[in-house]
Amino acid sequence: MKKTEDPRIAATRSAALDAALDILQKEGVFAVTHAAVNKATGISRSTLYRHWPETRRFLIDTFKHASGPTKLEPAANGPLRADLKWHLVHLVNALNESPWGKVAAQIIAAAATDKEAQLLINELMGERFAFVENTFIAAQARNEIASDAPIRQLIELMISVPYFRKLILGAPLDEDWIESHIEFICSLAENSPDYLHEQS
Amino acid sequence: MKKTEDPRIAATRSAALDAALDILQKEGVFAVTHAAVNKATGISRSTLYRHWPETRRFLIDTFKHASGPTKLEPAANGPLRADLKWHLVHLVNALNESPWGKVAAQIIAAAATDKEAQLLINELMGERFAFVENTFIAAQARNEIASDAPIRQLIELMISVPYFRKLILGAPLDEDWIESHIEFICSLAENSPDYLHEQS
DNA sequence: ACTGCAATGGTACAAAATGTACTATACAGA
DNA sequence: TCTGTATAGTACATTTTGTACCATTGCAGT
Protein backbone atom coordinates (compact mmCIF):
# COMPACT_ATOMS: atom_id res chain seq x y z
CA MET A 1 0.00 0.00 0.00
CA LYS A 2 1.08 3.46 -0.82
CA LYS A 3 1.46 6.15 1.77
CA THR A 4 1.40 9.53 0.13
CA GLU A 5 2.04 10.62 -3.40
CA ASP A 6 5.41 12.15 -4.08
CA PRO A 7 4.84 15.92 -4.09
CA ARG A 8 7.04 16.20 -7.15
CA ILE A 9 4.54 14.22 -9.15
CA ALA A 10 1.68 16.39 -8.08
CA ALA A 11 3.71 19.51 -8.76
CA THR A 12 4.65 18.59 -12.30
CA ARG A 13 1.18 17.33 -13.11
CA SER A 14 -0.35 20.52 -11.84
CA ALA A 15 2.12 22.82 -13.56
CA ALA A 16 1.89 20.90 -16.80
CA LEU A 17 -1.88 20.88 -16.85
CA ASP A 18 -2.03 24.57 -15.98
CA ALA A 19 0.18 25.34 -18.94
CA ALA A 20 -1.66 22.93 -21.21
CA LEU A 21 -4.95 24.52 -20.30
CA ASP A 22 -3.52 27.94 -20.98
CA ILE A 23 -2.28 26.83 -24.37
CA LEU A 24 -5.57 25.13 -25.11
CA GLN A 25 -7.50 28.32 -24.46
CA LYS A 26 -5.17 30.58 -26.38
CA GLU A 27 -4.13 28.48 -29.33
CA GLY A 28 -6.56 25.59 -29.60
CA VAL A 29 -6.28 21.82 -29.40
CA PHE A 30 -3.63 21.45 -32.07
CA ALA A 31 -1.19 23.49 -30.03
CA VAL A 32 -1.40 21.26 -26.96
CA THR A 33 1.73 19.13 -27.36
CA HIS A 34 4.45 17.83 -25.08
CA ALA A 35 6.90 20.16 -26.77
CA ALA A 36 4.73 23.24 -26.27
CA VAL A 37 4.17 22.47 -22.60
CA ASN A 38 7.87 21.88 -22.17
CA LYS A 39 8.58 25.27 -23.68
CA ALA A 40 6.02 26.95 -21.46
CA THR A 41 6.97 25.31 -18.19
CA GLY A 42 10.54 24.12 -18.48
CA ILE A 43 9.41 20.64 -17.52
CA SER A 44 11.50 18.37 -19.66
CA ARG A 45 9.89 16.58 -22.53
CA SER A 46 10.95 13.20 -21.23
CA THR A 47 9.16 13.84 -17.96
CA LEU A 48 6.03 14.88 -19.78
CA TYR A 49 6.14 11.72 -21.86
CA ARG A 50 6.43 9.68 -18.68
CA HIS A 51 3.28 11.26 -17.30
CA TRP A 52 1.32 11.14 -20.52
CA PRO A 53 2.72 8.63 -23.01
CA GLU A 54 -0.12 9.44 -25.41
CA THR A 55 -1.08 12.94 -26.44
CA ARG A 56 -4.77 12.05 -26.47
CA ARG A 57 -4.67 11.26 -22.78
CA PHE A 58 -2.82 14.48 -22.12
CA LEU A 59 -5.60 16.43 -23.79
CA ILE A 60 -8.32 14.58 -21.92
CA ASP A 61 -6.59 15.28 -18.62
CA THR A 62 -6.37 18.91 -19.62
CA PHE A 63 -10.10 18.89 -20.19
CA LYS A 64 -10.68 17.41 -16.77
CA HIS A 65 -8.36 20.01 -15.32
CA ALA A 66 -10.43 22.71 -17.00
CA SER A 67 -13.67 21.44 -15.56
CA GLY A 68 -12.00 21.82 -12.20
CA PRO A 69 -13.33 20.81 -8.82
CA THR A 70 -17.03 20.82 -9.48
CA LYS A 71 -18.45 21.48 -6.08
CA LEU A 72 -21.92 22.74 -6.75
CA GLU A 73 -23.21 24.20 -3.56
CA PRO A 74 -26.87 23.61 -2.86
CA ALA A 75 -29.22 26.39 -3.85
CA ALA A 76 -31.01 28.32 -1.19
CA ASN A 77 -34.47 27.02 -0.50
CA GLY A 78 -36.19 30.25 -1.37
CA PRO A 79 -38.97 30.77 -3.88
CA LEU A 80 -38.49 29.02 -7.22
CA ARG A 81 -37.65 32.20 -9.06
CA ALA A 82 -34.80 33.02 -6.70
CA ASP A 83 -33.46 29.50 -6.77
CA LEU A 84 -33.51 29.34 -10.55
CA LYS A 85 -31.78 32.65 -10.80
CA TRP A 86 -29.13 31.39 -8.44
CA HIS A 87 -28.58 28.38 -10.66
CA LEU A 88 -28.52 30.42 -13.81
CA VAL A 89 -26.06 32.95 -12.46
CA HIS A 90 -23.86 30.07 -11.41
CA LEU A 91 -24.03 28.53 -14.88
CA VAL A 92 -23.43 31.79 -16.68
CA ASN A 93 -20.44 32.53 -14.50
CA ALA A 94 -18.99 29.16 -15.37
CA LEU A 95 -19.46 29.88 -19.06
CA ASN A 96 -18.21 33.44 -18.91
CA GLU A 97 -15.39 33.38 -16.44
CA SER A 98 -13.94 29.98 -15.78
CA PRO A 99 -11.84 28.16 -18.36
CA TRP A 100 -14.83 25.94 -18.86
CA GLY A 101 -16.53 28.42 -21.16
CA LYS A 102 -13.55 28.49 -23.45
CA VAL A 103 -12.85 24.79 -23.65
CA ALA A 104 -16.35 23.34 -23.37
CA ALA A 105 -16.69 23.39 -27.15
CA GLN A 106 -13.42 21.50 -27.48
CA ILE A 107 -14.54 18.84 -25.04
CA ILE A 108 -17.85 18.45 -26.80
CA ALA A 109 -16.07 18.05 -30.11
CA ALA A 110 -13.70 15.51 -28.61
CA ALA A 111 -16.67 13.55 -27.30
CA ALA A 112 -17.57 12.66 -30.89
CA THR A 113 -14.62 10.31 -31.10
CA ASP A 114 -13.48 9.89 -27.51
CA LYS A 115 -15.47 7.95 -24.98
CA GLU A 116 -13.75 9.50 -21.99
CA ALA A 117 -14.66 12.99 -23.11
CA GLN A 118 -18.27 11.92 -23.43
CA LEU A 119 -18.18 10.45 -19.95
CA LEU A 120 -16.77 13.69 -18.59
CA ILE A 121 -19.57 15.66 -20.23
CA ASN A 122 -22.19 13.26 -18.97
CA GLU A 123 -20.82 13.55 -15.48
CA LEU A 124 -20.77 17.32 -15.46
CA MET A 125 -24.14 17.70 -17.16
CA GLY A 126 -25.75 15.04 -15.05
CA GLU A 127 -24.62 16.84 -11.95
CA ARG A 128 -26.06 20.13 -13.10
CA PHE A 129 -29.30 18.58 -14.30
CA ALA A 130 -29.84 16.80 -11.02
CA PHE A 131 -29.13 20.01 -9.23
CA VAL A 132 -31.69 22.05 -11.08
CA GLU A 133 -34.15 19.20 -10.96
CA ASN A 134 -34.03 19.20 -7.19
CA THR A 135 -34.98 22.84 -7.20
CA PHE A 136 -38.05 22.16 -9.31
CA ILE A 137 -39.04 19.20 -7.19
CA ALA A 138 -38.73 21.31 -4.07
CA ALA A 139 -40.92 23.93 -5.69
CA GLN A 140 -43.50 21.25 -6.42
CA ALA A 141 -43.39 20.18 -2.81
CA ARG A 142 -44.08 23.77 -1.80
CA ASN A 143 -46.95 23.87 -4.31
CA GLU A 144 -45.34 26.68 -6.23
CA ILE A 145 -45.76 24.79 -9.46
CA ALA A 146 -48.16 22.12 -10.62
CA SER A 147 -47.37 18.49 -9.94
CA ASP A 148 -47.46 17.73 -13.65
CA ALA A 149 -45.21 20.57 -14.74
CA PRO A 150 -42.89 19.45 -17.54
CA ILE A 151 -39.79 19.59 -15.42
CA ARG A 152 -37.49 17.80 -17.82
CA GLN A 153 -38.27 20.26 -20.57
CA LEU A 154 -37.97 23.26 -18.31
CA ILE A 155 -34.52 22.12 -17.23
CA GLU A 156 -33.44 21.63 -20.81
CA LEU A 157 -34.78 25.02 -21.69
CA MET A 158 -32.94 26.61 -18.81
CA ILE A 159 -29.59 25.01 -19.54
CA SER A 160 -29.50 24.53 -23.29
CA VAL A 161 -30.20 28.11 -24.25
CA PRO A 162 -27.20 29.65 -22.47
CA TYR A 163 -24.94 26.93 -23.86
CA PHE A 164 -26.28 27.47 -27.32
CA ARG A 165 -25.91 31.22 -27.15
CA LYS A 166 -22.42 31.09 -25.76
CA LEU A 167 -20.87 28.22 -27.69
CA ILE A 168 -22.69 28.32 -30.99
CA LEU A 169 -23.93 31.84 -31.50
CA GLY A 170 -21.09 33.50 -29.62
CA ALA A 171 -23.70 35.80 -28.08
CA PRO A 172 -23.12 37.45 -24.72
CA LEU A 173 -24.74 36.23 -21.53
CA ASP A 174 -25.15 39.41 -19.53
CA GLU A 175 -27.27 40.51 -16.63
CA ASP A 176 -30.16 41.60 -18.82
CA TRP A 177 -30.24 38.35 -20.64
CA ILE A 178 -30.27 36.41 -17.39
CA GLU A 179 -33.26 38.39 -16.23
CA SER A 180 -35.25 37.80 -19.38
CA HIS A 181 -34.41 34.13 -19.45
CA ILE A 182 -35.47 33.65 -15.85
CA GLU A 183 -38.63 35.55 -16.52
CA PHE A 184 -39.35 33.36 -19.51
CA ILE A 185 -38.83 30.13 -17.58
CA CYS A 186 -40.63 31.20 -14.45
CA SER A 187 -43.77 32.36 -16.13
CA LEU A 188 -43.91 29.02 -17.88
CA ALA A 189 -43.32 27.10 -14.72
CA GLU A 190 -45.71 29.10 -12.62
CA ASN A 191 -48.52 29.33 -15.13
CA SER A 192 -47.99 25.68 -15.81
CA PRO A 193 -50.62 24.94 -18.42
CA ASP A 194 -51.10 21.28 -19.18
CA TYR A 195 -48.60 21.38 -21.97
CA LEU A 196 -48.42 17.74 -22.61
CA HIS A 197 -51.97 16.67 -22.06
CA GLU A 198 -54.05 19.10 -24.07
CA GLN A 199 -52.98 17.81 -27.42
CA SER A 200 -55.22 18.73 -30.31
CA MET B 1 -10.69 37.07 -68.22
CA LYS B 2 -11.10 33.43 -67.51
CA LYS B 3 -13.39 31.21 -69.49
CA THR B 4 -14.13 28.01 -67.62
CA GLU B 5 -12.45 26.33 -64.72
CA ASP B 6 -10.35 23.32 -65.54
CA PRO B 7 -12.52 20.32 -64.70
CA ARG B 8 -9.52 18.61 -63.16
CA ILE B 9 -9.39 21.23 -60.43
CA ALA B 10 -13.03 20.73 -59.55
CA ALA B 11 -12.60 16.97 -59.62
CA THR B 12 -9.64 16.86 -57.26
CA ARG B 13 -11.18 19.41 -54.92
CA SER B 14 -14.39 17.43 -54.77
CA ALA B 15 -12.72 14.06 -54.31
CA ALA B 16 -10.30 15.43 -51.70
CA LEU B 17 -13.02 17.10 -49.67
CA ASP B 18 -15.22 14.02 -49.83
CA ALA B 19 -12.41 11.95 -48.42
CA ALA B 20 -11.47 14.60 -45.87
CA LEU B 21 -15.05 14.75 -44.66
CA ASP B 22 -15.17 11.00 -44.40
CA ILE B 23 -11.98 10.96 -42.37
CA LEU B 24 -13.23 13.82 -40.22
CA GLN B 25 -16.38 11.95 -39.33
CA LYS B 26 -14.69 8.65 -38.66
CA GLU B 27 -11.44 9.64 -37.02
CA GLY B 28 -11.75 13.24 -35.89
CA VAL B 29 -9.97 16.47 -36.72
CA PHE B 30 -6.48 15.25 -35.93
CA ALA B 31 -6.72 12.64 -38.65
CA VAL B 32 -7.50 15.14 -41.40
CA THR B 33 -4.09 15.61 -43.00
CA HIS B 34 -2.73 15.87 -46.50
CA ALA B 35 -1.11 12.49 -46.07
CA ALA B 36 -4.32 10.79 -44.95
CA VAL B 37 -6.31 12.21 -47.82
CA ASN B 38 -3.58 11.15 -50.22
CA LYS B 39 -3.79 7.63 -48.87
CA ALA B 40 -7.56 7.59 -49.16
CA THR B 41 -7.87 9.07 -52.63
CA GLY B 42 -4.58 8.49 -54.40
CA ILE B 43 -4.36 12.19 -55.10
CA SER B 44 -0.71 13.00 -54.71
CA ARG B 45 0.42 14.90 -51.69
CA SER B 46 2.01 17.60 -53.79
CA THR B 47 -1.28 18.29 -55.53
CA LEU B 48 -3.07 18.50 -52.21
CA TYR B 49 -0.49 20.95 -50.92
CA ARG B 50 -0.99 23.08 -54.03
CA HIS B 51 -4.74 23.24 -53.33
CA TRP B 52 -4.41 23.79 -49.61
CA PRO B 53 -0.99 25.04 -48.58
CA GLU B 54 -2.15 25.25 -44.96
CA THR B 55 -3.85 22.44 -43.11
CA ARG B 56 -6.10 24.87 -41.27
CA ARG B 57 -7.63 26.02 -44.52
CA PHE B 58 -8.07 22.45 -45.62
CA LEU B 59 -10.07 21.73 -42.50
CA ILE B 60 -12.20 24.84 -42.88
CA ASP B 61 -13.00 23.90 -46.46
CA THR B 62 -13.94 20.45 -45.25
CA PHE B 63 -16.32 22.04 -42.78
CA LYS B 64 -17.89 24.07 -45.55
CA HIS B 65 -18.14 20.96 -47.64
CA ALA B 66 -19.94 19.25 -44.77
CA SER B 67 -22.48 22.01 -44.42
CA GLY B 68 -23.22 21.42 -48.08
CA PRO B 69 -25.57 23.33 -50.29
CA THR B 70 -27.90 24.87 -47.76
CA LYS B 71 -31.03 25.40 -49.74
CA LEU B 72 -33.71 25.74 -47.14
CA GLU B 73 -37.01 25.46 -48.91
CA PRO B 74 -39.74 27.71 -47.61
CA ALA B 75 -42.13 26.17 -45.17
CA ALA B 76 -45.70 25.67 -46.13
CA ASN B 77 -47.95 28.47 -44.99
CA GLY B 78 -50.16 26.27 -42.91
CA PRO B 79 -51.04 26.72 -39.23
CA LEU B 80 -48.13 27.58 -36.96
CA ARG B 81 -47.98 24.15 -35.44
CA ALA B 82 -47.59 22.47 -38.81
CA ASP B 83 -44.98 24.95 -39.96
CA LEU B 84 -42.93 24.59 -36.81
CA LYS B 85 -43.04 20.86 -37.06
CA TRP B 86 -41.86 21.10 -40.63
CA HIS B 87 -38.91 23.22 -39.51
CA LEU B 88 -38.08 20.95 -36.62
CA VAL B 89 -38.19 17.80 -38.71
CA HIS B 90 -35.88 19.49 -41.18
CA LEU B 91 -33.46 20.46 -38.42
CA VAL B 92 -33.53 17.05 -36.77
CA ASN B 93 -32.89 15.36 -40.09
CA ALA B 94 -29.88 17.57 -40.62
CA LEU B 95 -28.56 16.64 -37.19
CA ASN B 96 -29.34 12.95 -37.49
CA GLU B 97 -28.61 12.07 -41.06
CA SER B 98 -26.39 14.53 -42.87
CA PRO B 99 -22.68 14.86 -42.12
CA TRP B 100 -23.57 18.08 -40.38
CA GLY B 101 -24.68 16.33 -37.23
CA LYS B 102 -21.34 14.61 -36.92
CA VAL B 103 -19.09 17.54 -37.64
CA ALA B 104 -21.10 20.43 -36.19
CA ALA B 105 -19.35 20.00 -32.86
CA GLN B 106 -15.97 20.17 -34.58
CA ILE B 107 -16.89 23.36 -36.38
CA ILE B 108 -18.15 24.93 -33.20
CA ALA B 109 -14.94 24.04 -31.45
CA ALA B 110 -12.90 25.45 -34.30
CA ALA B 111 -14.85 28.68 -34.07
CA ALA B 112 -13.22 29.34 -30.72
CA THR B 113 -9.92 30.11 -32.41
CA ASP B 114 -10.82 30.46 -36.07
CA LYS B 115 -12.73 33.43 -37.39
CA GLU B 116 -13.78 31.71 -40.59
CA ALA B 117 -15.39 28.86 -38.72
CA GLN B 118 -17.35 31.37 -36.66
CA LEU B 119 -18.47 33.13 -39.83
CA LEU B 120 -19.63 29.83 -41.27
CA ILE B 121 -21.65 29.10 -38.16
CA ASN B 122 -23.14 32.57 -38.13
CA GLU B 123 -24.13 32.18 -41.73
CA LEU B 124 -25.80 28.82 -41.26
CA MET B 125 -27.48 29.74 -38.00
CA GLY B 126 -28.56 33.12 -39.26
CA GLU B 127 -30.23 31.46 -42.17
CA ARG B 128 -32.12 29.05 -40.00
CA PHE B 129 -33.11 31.68 -37.48
CA ALA B 130 -34.46 33.97 -40.17
CA PHE B 131 -36.35 31.06 -41.58
CA VAL B 132 -38.09 30.15 -38.37
CA GLU B 133 -38.63 33.79 -37.57
CA ASN B 134 -40.58 34.26 -40.78
CA THR B 135 -42.86 31.47 -39.73
CA PHE B 136 -43.62 33.14 -36.41
CA ILE B 137 -44.16 36.50 -38.07
CA ALA B 138 -46.54 34.93 -40.53
CA ALA B 139 -48.41 33.37 -37.63
CA GLN B 140 -48.66 36.78 -36.01
CA ALA B 141 -50.04 38.20 -39.24
CA ARG B 142 -52.68 35.48 -39.19
CA ASN B 143 -53.44 36.34 -35.53
CA GLU B 144 -52.52 32.86 -34.42
CA ILE B 145 -50.24 34.24 -31.75
CA ALA B 146 -50.15 37.53 -29.90
CA SER B 147 -48.33 40.47 -31.38
CA ASP B 148 -46.06 40.68 -28.36
CA ALA B 149 -45.13 37.00 -28.27
CA PRO B 150 -41.45 36.57 -27.35
CA ILE B 151 -40.43 35.34 -30.77
CA ARG B 152 -36.71 35.56 -30.26
CA GLN B 153 -36.89 33.36 -27.22
CA LEU B 154 -39.23 30.89 -28.82
CA ILE B 155 -36.85 30.50 -31.74
CA GLU B 156 -33.93 29.96 -29.41
CA LEU B 157 -35.93 27.43 -27.48
CA MET B 158 -36.88 25.60 -30.63
CA ILE B 159 -33.38 25.41 -32.05
CA SER B 160 -31.10 25.26 -29.05
CA VAL B 161 -32.68 22.28 -27.36
CA PRO B 162 -32.18 19.82 -30.24
CA TYR B 163 -28.61 21.02 -30.67
CA PHE B 164 -27.96 20.66 -26.99
CA ARG B 165 -29.47 17.21 -26.82
CA LYS B 166 -27.66 15.96 -29.87
CA LEU B 167 -24.23 17.53 -29.49
CA ILE B 168 -23.81 17.78 -25.75
CA LEU B 169 -26.01 15.16 -24.17
CA GLY B 170 -25.74 12.68 -27.03
CA ALA B 171 -29.46 12.04 -26.57
CA PRO B 172 -31.57 10.81 -29.47
CA LEU B 173 -33.90 13.07 -31.42
CA ASP B 174 -36.68 10.71 -32.42
CA GLU B 175 -40.25 11.09 -33.54
CA ASP B 176 -41.62 11.13 -30.01
CA TRP B 177 -39.23 13.77 -28.91
CA ILE B 178 -40.12 15.97 -31.87
CA GLU B 179 -43.78 15.70 -30.95
CA SER B 180 -43.25 16.68 -27.35
CA HIS B 181 -40.95 19.54 -28.25
CA ILE B 182 -43.43 20.93 -30.75
CA GLU B 183 -46.18 20.59 -28.21
CA PHE B 184 -44.10 22.44 -25.64
CA ILE B 185 -43.31 25.31 -27.98
CA CYS B 186 -46.75 25.61 -29.46
CA SER B 187 -48.59 25.77 -26.21
CA LEU B 188 -46.24 28.54 -25.13
CA ALA B 189 -46.68 30.43 -28.36
CA GLU B 190 -50.42 30.02 -28.52
CA ASN B 191 -51.18 30.70 -24.89
CA SER B 192 -48.79 33.60 -25.08
CA PRO B 193 -48.96 35.05 -21.61
CA ASP B 194 -47.26 38.39 -21.19
CA TYR B 195 -44.00 36.79 -20.26
CA LEU B 196 -41.91 39.85 -20.32
CA HIS B 197 -44.23 42.43 -18.92
CA GLU B 198 -45.68 40.90 -15.79
CA GLN B 199 -42.51 41.10 -13.79
CA SER B 200 -42.91 40.87 -10.09
C1' DA C 1 -4.49 16.32 -85.15
C1' DC C 2 -1.38 19.67 -83.34
C1' DT C 3 0.21 22.79 -79.78
C1' DG C 4 0.65 25.63 -75.66
C1' DC C 5 -0.61 25.76 -71.02
C1' DA C 6 -1.80 24.10 -66.58
C1' DA C 7 -2.68 20.37 -63.37
C1' DT C 8 -1.21 16.22 -61.73
C1' DG C 9 1.96 12.43 -60.08
C1' DG C 10 6.17 11.14 -58.44
C1' DT C 11 10.47 11.64 -56.46
C1' DA C 12 13.85 13.63 -53.66
C1' DC C 13 15.05 16.23 -50.02
C1' DA C 14 14.96 19.57 -46.04
C1' DA C 15 12.97 20.69 -41.76
C1' DA C 16 10.38 19.84 -37.82
C1' DA C 17 7.84 17.07 -34.70
C1' DT C 18 7.34 12.90 -32.28
C1' DG C 19 8.70 9.09 -29.62
C1' DT C 20 12.28 6.26 -27.07
C1' DA C 21 16.47 5.05 -24.47
C1' DC C 22 19.85 6.09 -21.31
C1' DT C 23 22.50 8.62 -17.73
C1' DA C 24 23.37 11.94 -14.22
C1' DT C 25 21.32 14.79 -10.85
C1' DA C 26 18.11 16.31 -7.33
C1' DC C 27 14.79 15.47 -4.04
C1' DA C 28 11.47 13.01 -0.82
C1' DG C 29 10.99 9.90 2.83
C1' DA C 30 12.89 6.78 6.32
C1' DT D 1 22.85 9.61 5.97
C1' DC D 2 20.91 6.40 2.78
C1' DT D 3 17.69 4.44 -0.64
C1' DG D 4 14.39 4.82 -4.12
C1' DT D 5 12.22 7.58 -7.38
C1' DA D 6 11.25 11.67 -10.20
C1' DT D 7 13.29 14.84 -13.07
C1' DA D 8 16.61 17.08 -16.50
C1' DG D 9 19.33 16.49 -20.14
C1' DT D 10 21.10 14.35 -24.07
C1' DA D 11 21.23 11.54 -28.00
C1' DC D 12 19.10 9.23 -31.45
C1' DA D 13 15.49 6.83 -34.43
C1' DT D 14 11.26 7.51 -36.62
C1' DT D 15 7.52 9.87 -38.47
C1' DT D 16 5.40 13.79 -40.16
C1' DT D 17 5.35 17.95 -42.56
C1' DG D 18 6.58 21.11 -46.05
C1' DT D 19 9.08 22.40 -50.41
C1' DA D 20 11.33 21.95 -54.94
C1' DC D 21 11.70 19.95 -59.17
C1' DC D 22 10.52 17.46 -63.32
C1' DA D 23 8.15 14.26 -66.29
C1' DT D 24 3.56 13.12 -67.62
C1' DT D 25 -1.17 13.77 -68.53
C1' DG D 26 -5.22 16.14 -69.87
C1' DC D 27 -7.69 20.29 -71.27
C1' DA D 28 -8.55 24.10 -74.53
C1' DG D 29 -7.99 26.60 -78.67
C1' DT D 30 -6.34 26.54 -83.44
CATH of domain A7-67: 1.10.10
Position B198 pLDDT exceeds 60: no
pLDDT score at B148: 86
Q: Which nucleotide, over all strands, has the C1' atom closest to the CA of B55?
A: D17
Closest CA to A148 of A135, A131, A132, A136: A136
Q: What is the mean pLDDT of residues A105-128?
A: 95
Domain locations in chain B as residue ranges = 7-67, 80-191
Position B146 pLDDT exceeds 90: no
pLDDT score at A199: 36
- Whether B66 and B121 have beta carbons less than 8 Å apart is answered as no
Q: Is B145 exposed, middle or buried (0-12, 13-18, 19+ CB in 10 A)?
A: buried
Integer distance in angstroms from the first to the last C-alpha of chain B? 67
d(CA A46, CA A52): 10
d(CA B166, CA B168): 6
Q: What is the pLDDT of residues A70-96, one digit of tens each?
A: 677 776 687 999 999 999 999 999 999
Amino acid at B40: A
pLDDT score at A191: 62
Residue with CA nearest C1' of nucleotide C10: B44
Give chain D positions with protein CB within 7 A.
5-11, 16-21, 26-29
d(CA B200, CA B198): 6
Taking domain B80-191, whether its CATH number is 1.10.357.10 is answered by: yes
Residue with CA nearest C1' of nucleotide D8: A44
d(CA A25, CA A101): 10
Residue A199 to chain B, least CA–CA distance (Å): 7
The answer to whether strand D lies under 7 Å from the CB of residue B35 is yes
Name the more confident of B178 and B187: B178
Closest CA to A84 of A76, A93, A96: A76
Q: Which nucleotide, over all strands, has the C1' atom closest to the CA of B51?
A: C7
Amino acid at B170: G
Q: What is the mean pLDDT of residues B24-30?
A: 96
d(CA A51, CA A67): 20
Alpha-carbon Rg for chain A, nearest whole angstrom, is 21
Amino acid at A49: Y
